[in-house]
Amino acid sequence: MLQQPLESAQDLTPRIAVDALAWRSWLDANEDSSDGVWLLLAKKGTTEPTSLTYAQALDEALCSGWIDGQKRSHDAAAFLQRFTPRRKASLWSERNIRLVEALIEACRMRERGHAEIARAKADGRWERAYAGAKTAEVPEDLASARAGSAAAAERFATLNRTNRYAVRTSTGSSRPPARRAARTGWRRGCWSGERHPIPSPSDDAGFGIVVPSSGNAASSREGRSMRNVLWGVVALLGWLALVAAALCVTTPGDEKPVAMVDAVIAVIAGVSALVGALLFVRSRVAVDPRRVAVPPSPEAAER
């Protein structure tokens, strides 16, 4: 069984599996009910408080249809690794495909792991598996688009290793030909200066790759929250005014003027309610279709 959380970890709930067998036992009991766990993994030569290595932990996770995520430092003897159930649209790496094929050959795969493989093969993710940073190649269509513009080729050359890998991987993972062509063409336009990425790029991030700093991300979330509140209040006030107008009682001697005022109030209230509701919904769900998600980093893909 996994031991209690480490008291020294900040803002995390790491667990200790003393060895691979303990990790396997925990997954068998919790793979369908847990949202994930921070696991303490041993560095080379470490046996206490755990001898569980990253390779061992990943093998067992893949058997259960789980996958590794973020990595955090801990101390000189161990580090923390996040493991979670594989999400519906989670991409597969060629390395993990080789690992699960070996696990299947060794008859170690669990039912949940087989189910994840079947889903990936059914929706095409298995065939679209991405290569690691050391073996990834630029797709032909992306290379052609880049070669067709000297400015695009020059700008691409300024990308750092992480962003180049992100471009190759996210383009190669596009399944519908129309979407892939649109994404490739949009990137070429960004690199050649014909259009601007969203958000505007800095020296380290951009060219269609969204890598906001933590401060910018927090400010963006705060701004969206304020807009949501504003439009929600506008919609609420509009509906209240509409109800008030509908319930207004006219006086017998002055029916026409009052009725006219009621009608004006009702129209204004209705328009306010409609506009507020639409803007509220838009601020909640609108996503620019050109925004590009960043795939796993080269370091994570090579682990």
- Which of 88-92, 164-168, 188-192 has the largest mean confidence? 88-92
Domain membership of residue 7 (yes or no) is no
- Domain count along the chain: 3
Q: Are residues 169 and 85 in the same domain?
A: no
Confidence of residue 176 (pLDDT cuts 50, 70, 90): low
Does 291 map to a domain? Answer: no
Model confidence pLDDT, tens digit, residues 213-234: 344 444 455 556 676 777 777 7
**Residue at which a domain ends, from 211, 234, 265:** 211
Q: In terms of domains, do 174 and 236 share one?
A: no
**Residue 177 binned pLDDT confidence (cut-offs 50, 70, 90):** low
Are 28 and 78 in a shared domain? yes
**Global pTM?**
0.50
Q: Which of 123, 154, 173 is the last residue of a domain?
A: 123
Q: 84-113 pLDDT, tens per residue?
A: 999 988 989 989 999 999 999 999 999 999
Closest-CA residue to 180 (of 135, 142, 131, 129): 142
Same structural domain for residues 107 and 94? yes
One-character DSSP codes across 165-216: HHHHHHHHT--SHHHHHHHHHHHHHHHHTSS--SS---SSS-TT-----HHH
Strand order in the sheet with 66-73: 14-15, 37-42, 78-85, 66-73
113: which residues sit within 8 A by CB, 6+ positions away? 62, 63, 64, 65, 100, 103
> In this structure, is residue 167 part of a structural domain?
yes
Q: What are phi and psi of 37, to 5 degrees?
A: -155, 145
Residues 223 and 186 in one domain: no
pLDDT band at 164 (very low <50, low <70, confident <90, very high): low
Same domain, 33 and 109: yes
Q: What is the pLDDT of residue 140?
A: 67
Q: What angle do CA 140, 97, 105 make, to 5 degrees?
A: 145
Q: Are residues 118 and 144 in the same domain?
A: no
Domain around 268: 214-285
Is residue 83 assigned to a domain? yes
Q: Is residue 298 part of a domain?
A: no
pLDDT of residue 150: 73
Confidence at 247, pLDDT banded by 50, 70, 90:
low
Residues 242 and 271 in one domain: yes
